[in-house]
Amino acid sequence: MRAWRKTWVAVVSVFILASPLLGGPQSSSPRPFNLIRWNHGKFIFGVDYYPEAWPESQWEKDAEMMQAAGINFVRMGEFDWVKMEPEEGHFDFSWLDRALKILSAHGIHAVLGTPTAAPPAWLYAEYPDIAAVNAEGIRYRFGSRRNYCLNNPHFLQATRQIVTALAEHYKNNPAVIGFQIDNELGNPYCFNRYCLAAFQNWCRNKYKTLDALNRAWGTVFWGQTYTAWSQIPLPWNTLFGVHNPSLALDYDRFFNDSTKSYLELQARILRRIAPNKAITTNEMGLFDAIDYSKLNTALDFVAWDNYPMFDQNHSNYFGPALAHDLMRGSKNNQNFMVMEEEAGLPGWTMFWGHQAPAALYRVWAYQAVAHGADGVCFFRWRTSTYGTEQYWQGVLDQDSYPNARYRIIARMGKEIQRLTPVLEGSHVVSKVALLVSPDSRWAFHIQPLTKGFNYNRQLYRYYDAFRRRAVNVDVVFPQDNFSAYKVLVAPSLFVVNAELVRKLTQFVRGGGLLILTYRSGVKDSHNVYTTLTLPGRLAPLVGIAIHNYDPETTQQQKIVMSNGTSYPADVWFDILTPTSARVLATYGEDFYAGKPAVTINRYGRGAVIYVGTEPRSSRFYSGLVQLVARRTGLALGPKLPNGVEMATRQKAGEKIIFLLNYTSQPQSVDVGAVTRNALTGQAENESVPIPPYDVRVLTRR
């Protein structure tokens, strides 16, 4: 090992005990961003390209086929560390320069991935402890991707070196318009000595004194009181497989902060050296190990990886619509892009799912646009001939034949050029928001309620009910401003603090309608159970008391509405005692038959609906949306046929309407007014036909 690196590691090893997180707490400064202008006035229409895997003689033909399909953008390099730095301190970007030159000659710009998701074998050989350690104390072996410790000083210094070299080499290259940091940040959890020291220091920075930490975590339970910071463990490998839930929640926050710190380490280097290049990373929709609303403060724009086929087992036909909206909401509802859009059947050691009609890939790509994407980049250009992803189809298969997927994507490439002037400057506008609480999601992973509980399923059920009536839905986070919305839905808001309660109260008092569900207001910000009668601090707002509840195990239950209609229910049953609320539904079975299950409470100029269980029927949620619309004046769209979605963007008084047919049957939607087809320019009647697996893009003033 070189002397300078020994010195640097020694300094960092001390620093890890003296700072809240290795890499520093500073935040880089993203800029307001217009994706279409960034891409030289073009909608981003691209592919993920791996020229290093193919003979250079093929690159020119690839670029020609891309250009013919309307491709103007590629992402490259995110796994090419060993190609860029074949040995420590020796860099070679010549191969990438040649690929960029060919692509640029065909009007194609690039985002380059910082290649830190794939550390080279020589780095592991010299510093084997950069590999992550699992909860059993076993170090993962070389051979996969993203196997690294976010707090390892050797890895962080190696990251600085490769990112600095990449930025220096491409800072003035006009073919490179930005950088993607790493690849799908958010794993693995690591339990080595570096992470242990960093977590202990994170706790010291947050709580200041051990007395404060012991009180917050309730360490009097099971005699877990700490008398030195060095005694604090990571939540791993205990006798019964469980740990203090307060410690476990703080570990999730620590891991989130470690990930954010690692991203910011790279972002600072890129901004300092190449300030004219944009910065993003590729994220994963509803993936919940990371709080994207915190991570994305360091990015210029949000990008994510969209694979609708993974949602096929979910009953909702909107597929990834919620994930699109969550990604948009994770950065103040700024328009986003899809960095990896499914272009074929996915698979690793086996194929996942079944083949989709080629036309459906176009519909899924337009769905992203409908939900606020100003860019779509298909994964991948060509299926790999080797490695783990041989079963993951690209736009082209291994033989490069211009197949049906290529032809349908080429069709969209021509269409999107015509649509760009219509789309530029438009945004999704919503009056309904879905509140996602990362703290609650983490707390439920630590202590699930029952085997049947699923936080995301609740998100989908309420989200889908509004989307089935063509109502746009934003996703917001606890730190966001709620004042722009008429309706706020916050399923199972398990972890709350005084500030969030204040904001919800202000929202309702000002005229908003809030929907809460079972297990809300149960825990404080330390994941400690409230001593107040449930729903804790939310009780005055909700107008109920909960003195008893029943976790579903095997029993059958239903709720009965005031008009006598009944719906099956499961998962959990809060038995409600109204204090000021009015009853909307009661339970129909067991010893609490006739007891309130769903209530509504007027508060200030607004109201709160509390749903104490999880109804299984979509008709319940549809009825709830109609009730909400009557009380708030929320405009509902048409009732949509099964398998059809309607979503809108708007700008300067113009509404852009997307009708998407995910089914094999022709459909039609009554949009309520004469519109104009944005692609043909022709007027459309109120009832708009949509062929199978097709899209209509309409405009209306």
Catalytic residue among 78, 85, 184, 552: 184
Look up 340 and say whether it is catalytic.
yes
List the one residue out of 95, 48, 96 whose CA is nearest residue 71: 48
Q: Check residue 531 and report its DSSP letter.
A: S
Please state, in angstroms and rounded to a whole number, the distance separating the CA atoms of residues 597 and 76.
53
Strands 373-379 and 336-342: parallel
* Contact yes or no for 638/470 (Cβ under 8 A): yes
Candidate list 78, 85, 264, 340, residue with the active-site label: 340
Alpha-carbon torsion (656, 662, 666, 671), positive or negative:
negative
Q: What residues does 688 pair with on adjacent strands?
A: 669
- For 369, phi then psi, to 5°, come to -60, -45
Side-chain-side CA neighbours of 446 within 13 Å: the count stands at 25
DSSP state of 689: E
136 is catalytic: no
- Which amino acid is residue 580, in one-letter code? S
> Which residue, among 270, 272, 429, 442, has the nearest Cα to 335 in the 3D structure?
429
Q: How far apart are CA 377 and CA 69, in angstroms?
A: 13
Number of H helices, E strands in the chain: 19, 28
User: Mind giving me the DSSP string for 464-520?
Assistant: HHHHTTT--EEEE-TTS--TT-SEEEETT--B--HHHHHHHHHHHHTT-EEEEESS-
Alpha helix locations (H) across 274-338?
Answer: 292-295, 321-329
Tokens of 588: 């129909």
Distance of CA 408 to the CA centre of its chain: 27
Contact in structure between 262 and 150 (CB atoms under 8 Å): yes
Q: If you write DSSP's letter for every residue of 18-76 in order, what string do you get?
A: TSSSTT-S---------HHHHTTTS-EEEEE--GGGS-GGGHHHHHHHHHHTT--EEEE
Q: Residue 649: name the closest of 409, 434, 469, 474 by CA.
A: 474
Mind telling me the catalytic residues? Answer: 184, 340
